[in-house]
Amino acid sequence: MEKRRIGRTDLSVSKICLGTMTWGQQNTEAEGHAQMDLAFERGVNFLDTAELYSIPPKPETQGFTETYIGNWMKARGNRDRVVLASKVVGRTANEWFRGGRPSKLVRADILDAIDKSLARLQTDYIDLYQIHFPDRLITWGANPTRIGTEPAKRAEDETPIAETLAVFEELVKAGKIRHLGLSNESSWGVMRFVAESDRGVGPRVASVQNAYNLVNRTFEVNLAETCEREDVSLLAYSPLAQGYLTGKYDHGARPEGARTTLFDRGQRYETPYAAEALLAYNELARSFDMEPALFANAYVTSRWFVTSNIIGATSLPQLEMALASAEVRWTEEMQKAVDDIHQRVGNPCP
């Protein structure tokens, strides 16, 4: 499988990254191991996880996903062949990460997070350690399609970006992480991290992990320009819009065992007019004689500004289809048809 470099680092990763957030609730440890075996057999070398996982977040299953990955790497003896990415939570009122208190991007909390993740992953280092979401009070996903009627609120105790970067510098020097990444960030956030590191504070940001799919192209254009000029790689998550771009939820269907059916957490993809937009893309895929999931994944992987497409699956057949998307030849005809729909519907699910 084609490999692409992350930012200015020496990390060379497959254009498909295996996402892992379902392991621990929707998937058992054995199923997670089977997914990793298949993905690596097909040329994937890149895993993405987080201290938050599994999803949906709850104290009873927090950290399970990292534990499963750690057990797999130990059993296979392949840590040196895995590019491993994990994440520290940003500002959250959930108290189970830090043993009974809220968490922020301050030194004590970051050090606590990395040591716990390393123990669960049974490794001495993480290749790409990402800030899961900012310390700032911002909309989840960081790129709404319109601004509110008042300025966004700011926390009185907002952690300065330079302060957070200084902690990541400690982690690099200690050998616990190799590189820093962001997630769910805005253009302003990316540039502030870059500006601080350019003046000598902390490691330089290598990547940003944001949602990107047919119904959420908000990475275009401002973030795309920022990242291209600053050599910050996009690691695109949610290429299937939490399954809504597979067609299984078309016309209001709620299949047994599907994520939205189980957890009722699909509100990001249930906004006004979203159903019509999702159906249009799913029907477009079928008009090209492709399964909607294959089409949607192939679209994301084909974008010049996507370094790696973080795919997710809860079954091996789903994973097979996601991996197959790496071999799809994306055509000008497909792109024109996608852009025609986007011109009508915009980004209904930012």
Rg (CA), the chain: 19
Output 186-192 pairs: Cβ under 8 A, ≥24 positions apart.
186/138, 186/142, 186/143, 186/223, 187/222, 187/223, 187/226, 189/134, 189/136, 189/138, 189/142, 189/161, 190/223, 190/226, 190/227, 190/230, 190/232, 191/226, 191/230, 192/161
Nearest by Cα to 298 from 307, 283, 287, 309: 309
Q: Quote the tokens at residue 173.
A: 């020097």
Catalytic residues: 53
Smallest CA-to-CA distance from 188 within 222, 233, 231, 237 is with 222
| 141 touches 209 (CB < 8 A) | no
Query: At 338, is the secondary structure helix, strand, or coil?
Result: helix
Is 23 in a helix, a strand, or coil?
strand
Q: Is 83:95 a contact under the CB 8 Å cutoff? A: no
Read off the tokens for 55.
Answer: 């999803």
Separation between Cα atoms, residue 92 and residue 87, nearest integer Å: 14
List of residues 6+ apart from 137 with CB closer than 8 A:
91, 152, 153, 154, 155, 158
- How far is Cα 249 from Cα 181, in angstroms, rounded to an integer? 33
Six token digits for residue 27: 């998937």
Q: Give whole-number Cα distances, 84 to 33, 81, 124, 170, in Å.
A: 15, 9, 11, 19
Backbone angles phi, psi at 283, to 5 degrees: -70, -35
Please tell me the distance from the alpha carbon of residue 69 to that of residue 85, in angstroms, as a whole number. 11
